[in-house]
Amino acid sequence: RGPSDDNEWAWALNRHYFAQNLLDAWLTTKEARYAKAWNDHVKDWVLSNPYPGEESKTAAWRGLEAFFRVKAWARGFYALQGHAALEPATRLLILASILDHADYLRRFHKPTSNWICMELNGLATA
């Protein structure tokens, strides 16, 4: 929840905007440290935030955050194929967690509002 105990901070962190920035830095510079940081952050998130298997109101497993994360991970997963910084264990963790994200988004998406569009977009991406 960040230094100010802020929900918005927690939600933004779990959307993995920073992962997009790391990937963009790697795509621009080709410096391996950015690809490694992307790998390490995503791997740590998956290991630290197991799928709850039920609807969640936590910053990690809210529907919008699952949507944004799937988009960020898909982009990084494909961009980093063939790069040694994307570890085999992280590849497997991402693939397994994307299945969890797809299950979450299919079962617990909002029935109405603009959230349903975003959550089902994440399901389609998964």
87-102: pLDDT as tens digits: 999 999 999 999 999 9
What 3-state DSSP class applies to 57? coil
Give me the amino acid identity at 49.
N
For 6-56, the pLDDT digits (tens) are 888 899 999 999 999 999 999 999 999 999 999 999 999 999 999 999 999
Instruction: For residue 77, count other CB atoms closer than 10 A to its CB.
Output: 18
DSSP the chain: -TTTT-HHHHHHHHTTHHHHHHHHHHHHH--HHHHHHHHHHHHHHHHHS---SS---STTT-HHHHHHHHHHHHHHHHHTTT-TTS-HHHHHHHHHHHHHHHHHHHHH--SSSHHHHHHHHHHHH-
**Model confidence band, residue 4 (pLDDT cutoffs 50, 70, 90):** confident
Measured distance CA(108)–CA(103) in Å, rounded: 8
Measured distance CA(122)–CA(49) in Å, rounded: 18
pTM: 0.92
